[in-house]
């Protein structure tokens, strides 16, 4: 057997590991806004920053393109996908329907333990401009919505909500940077929990829909005022 044609399992594992590392780092940078919408990047530039070869960076960028976070331009490099107001409005329109339905079903199905966990998550807050507290806040916010979606006891609906929450992640981080959303989130989340505890499906649906619209409007106003964040009409 020609040993030169044999795959080295350890080399393959290391290559995959580097690709995963590059993907995780770059994805987080895009979502948190360190790589802003519309900004251009190149493989050599990112490889140097990450202290890796270009191959894992190229593979990571390819995955980000498939997920819609990046766009590839032949002989030019890559661009972080811009955010348009139309895309944002469309995303929140679908999210409102999905999460409103999930909240109505969760009002009937959530356990006492899940409701207590929602109470704990609803008390999350952050300090504007502080990355650590902001990341924790966004993660707890996502967990809050995830528990309600899971509480619908409808796996398909849960999956759809999670997909839309993931798409919204970049917008959440932008929102925390341009305005203080602590009071709004605290009030809306506790209002939603109140109706969930009361097992009032109709009002839980309405409270979640209102929360979604409050988030959309606040984000829209803030991002229009801060055009530098790469949001286009």
| Domain spans in the chain, listed from the N-terminal domain onward | 3-80, 83-232
pLDDT at 6: 44
Task: Count Cα atoms within 13 angstroms, Cβ side, for 88.
Answer: 26
Fold adopted by 3-80? Arc Repressor Mutant, subunit A (1.10.10)
Q: Residue 16's pLDDT is what?
A: 61
Q: Helices (DSSP H) in 72-200: which residue ranges?
A: 85-109, 112-122, 131-151, 155-178, 182-197
DSSP letter string, 170-195: HHHHHHHHHS--HHHHHHHHHHHHHH
Which positions of the chain have pLDDT values less than 50? 1-7, 9-13, 15, 228, 233
**Amino acid 75: pLDDT:** 81
Structure tokens of 123?
């008390």
pLDDT at residue 226 in the model: 61
**Angstrom distance (rounded) from CA 54 to CA 65:** 16
Strand partners, 71: 79
| Confidence (pLDDT) at 12 | 47
CATH topology of domain 83-232: 1.20.120
The whole model's pTM is what? 0.81
**Burial call 95-110: b when 16+ CB within 10 Å, e when fewer:** bbebbbbbbbbbbeeb
Burial of 179 (0-12, 13-18, 19+ CB in 10 A): middle
Say if residue 171 is exposed, middle or buried (CB neighbours under 10 Å; 0-12, 13-18, 19+).
buried
pLDDT at residue number 224: 74
Class of residue 206 by CB neighbours under 10 A (exposed 0-12, middle 13-18, buried 19+): middle
């Amino acid at each position: 057997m020609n040993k030169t044609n044999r795959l080295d399992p350890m080399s393959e594992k290391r290559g995959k590991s580097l690709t995963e590392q590059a993907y995780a780092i770059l994805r987080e940078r895009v979502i948190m806004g360190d790589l802003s919408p519309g900004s251009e990047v190149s493989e050599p530039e990112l490889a140097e920053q990450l202290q890796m070869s270009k191959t894992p960076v190229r593979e990571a960028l390819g995955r980000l393109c498939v997920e819609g976070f990046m766009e590839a331009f032949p002989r030019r490099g890559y661009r972080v996908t811009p955010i348009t107001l139309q895309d944002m409005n469309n995303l929140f329109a679908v999210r409102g329907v999905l999460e409103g339905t999930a909240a109505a079903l969760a009002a009937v199905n959530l356990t006492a333990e899940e409701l207590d966990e929602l109470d704990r998550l609803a008390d999350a807050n952050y300090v504007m401009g502080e990355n650590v507290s902001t990341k924790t806040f966004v993660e707890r916010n996502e967990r809050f919505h995830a528990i309600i979606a899971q509480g619908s006891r409808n796996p398909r609906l849960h999956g759809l909500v999670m997909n839309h929450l993931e798409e919204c992640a970049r917008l959440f981080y932008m929102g925390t940077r341009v305005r203080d959303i602590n009071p709004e989130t605290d009030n809306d989340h506790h209002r939603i929990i109140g109706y969930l505890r009361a097992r009032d499906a109709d009002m839980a649906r309405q409270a979640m829909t209102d929360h979604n619209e409050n988030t959309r409007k606040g984000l829209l106003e803030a991002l229009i005022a801060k055009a530098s964040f790469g949001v286009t009409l």
